Structure 1
Amino acid sequence: MKIHKEGFQTIVISTVIVAVVVLLTVLLVMPRYPVLGWIIAVGITGLLIFILSFFRIPGRVHTEGEDVIVAPCDGTVVVIEEVQPDEYFKDKRLQLSIFMSPLNVHVNRNPVSGEVLYSKYHPGKYLVAWHPKSSTDNERHSVVYRQGDKEMLVKQIAGALAKRIVNYLKAGDKVQQGAEMGFIKFGSRVDLILPLDTKVEVKINQKVKGGVTVLGRW
């Protein structure tokens, strides 16, 4: 397991803060209130472990295939429905949404290989990630992929806690399925806007793994 580059600064700052808090706790709190001191030390150390875990990149064998759409992130499938897209596409599409909790791996990966046709950042609100309007009203970054004659849009969406979206792609890029496309910090969701004839292979409330789980075929 590795630590993602997006976490380096956060981890360094968190480590320094934890070290200072633990040192002050040992010197000032534990001599008079040992139980409280241990609670503070264990609690703050646990928080650091959580932050390290959040930025982890687990070793995985990624799924590949021209006809398959793999999960761009870890999380839980919360939406599978027909929609009228709010950007790029004019025709009706199939939306598949994955909710990412703070405990999930937060690396985002390309669901398919192909060419990036569109990449755009949208400022917005910070509604909870499972709110129906988070897909259109929240801060988000949208990317359109083309593989052959098929096109799909992927949205990285910020939530109430996730207030930093990182995306590495720009229009014209040639990308590989499973390679990193970005990162979202501290809980959020990813929407996939797919052709209506996509054969979906997951269900609502199913847990998925980024780069591994096959969401559907086209």
Structure 2
Amino acid sequence: MKLHKESKGTIVVASVAFAVVAFLAIYFLQVWSLLILIPLLVVYGLIFWFFRVPNREILDHKEQVIAPVDGKVVMIKEVMENEFLKEKAIQVSIFMSPLNVHICRFPVSGKVIYKKYHPGKYLVAWHEKSSTENERTTMAVESLTHHKVVFRQIAGYVARRIVFYCNEGDTAKAGHEYGFIKFGSRMDVFLPLDTEILCKIGDKTKGGIDVIARMKE
């Protein structure tokens, strides 16, 4: 199983902690140490599972809006996007549990025209106000269909680190990685009002693969 590059520090700390606790449990508890070691081993394995990098065939897209993350669609509504667009848009929000792949991908192809990091609170990621009050990064891409699409990584109650690798002027390719969020979070995508939405609330998405909307040329 391939692991994401963001796993290195976490896995080193987890490995040292596991080794220390395992040694102490075996030394002091002997046979009873299994009561501690078995659940600890499960948690240790879940850390590796969290940082997995799935092998996915990413296709080229022009009009399609691709799911930027693995997760569950929790919101589809018309909102006012005040940070960059300064106009109404359709917001599609996808919630990621700690068991989902947490690679963040471009939802559309085009050119990166805006990025900004915002420090903030750590409300639970499905809270509606987390989009504007939590720690977050906002990105915007001018798509190949000449639309401005905004998308936002949002840290949740558990997630405390957002990573993004692109800069303004970079080429965005739908479905390809641009960042990572650690341990549970949310992604919001803001689309033009005339966008054809192809997902519904409750849908499970696979980042880089599933088409969630289609924009008009």
* Alignment TM class, shorter chain as reference: over 0.9
* Residue 209 (structure 1) aligned to one of 199, 202, 206: 206
2:18 corresponds to which residue? 18
1:179 corresponds to which residue? 176
Q: Equivalents in 1 of 2:157, 2:82: separation in Å?
A: 21
The aligned amino acid for 2:79 is: V
Q: CA RMSD in A?
A: 1.0
Q: Equivalents in 1 of 2:120, 2:65: separation in Å?
A: 28
Query: Any idea what the Cα deviations from partners look like across 1:99-125, whole Å, max 9, x if unmatched?
Result: 000010000011121100000001110
Q: 5+ residue gaps in structure 2?
A: none
Q: Equivalents in 2 of 1:187, 1:130: separation in Å?
A: 10
The aligned amino acid for 2:109 is: S
Question: In 2, are the aligned partners of 1:63 and 1:70 still within 8 Å (CA)?
Answer: no
Quote the offset at 1:86 in angstroms.
2.4
| Residue 98 of structure 2 corresponds to residue 102 of structure 1 | yes
2:8 corresponds to which residue? 8
1:191 corresponds to which residue? 188
1:82 corresponds to which residue? 78
Q: Equivalents in 2 of 1:48, 1:16: separation in Å?
A: 11
Q: Equivalents in 1 of 2:167, 2:61: separation in Å?
A: 23
The aligned amino acid for 2:152 is: K
Q: Any residues of structure 2 matched to 1:1-150 within 5 Å, and which?
A: 1-30=1-30, 34-35=31-32, 37-148=33-144, 149-150=146-147
Q: Equivalents in 1 of 2:59, 2:41: separation in Å?
A: 36
Question: In 2, are the aligned partners of 1:158 and 1:164 still within 8 Å (CA)?
Answer: yes
Q: Equivalents in 2 of 1:112, 1:85: separation in Å?
A: 18
Q: Equivalents in 2 of 1:16, 1:78: separation in Å?
A: 37
1:158 corresponds to which residue? 155
Q: 5+ residue gaps in structure 1?
A: none
Quote the offset at 1:64 in angstroms.
2.9
* Count of matched residue positions in the alignment of Structure 1 and Structure 2: 214
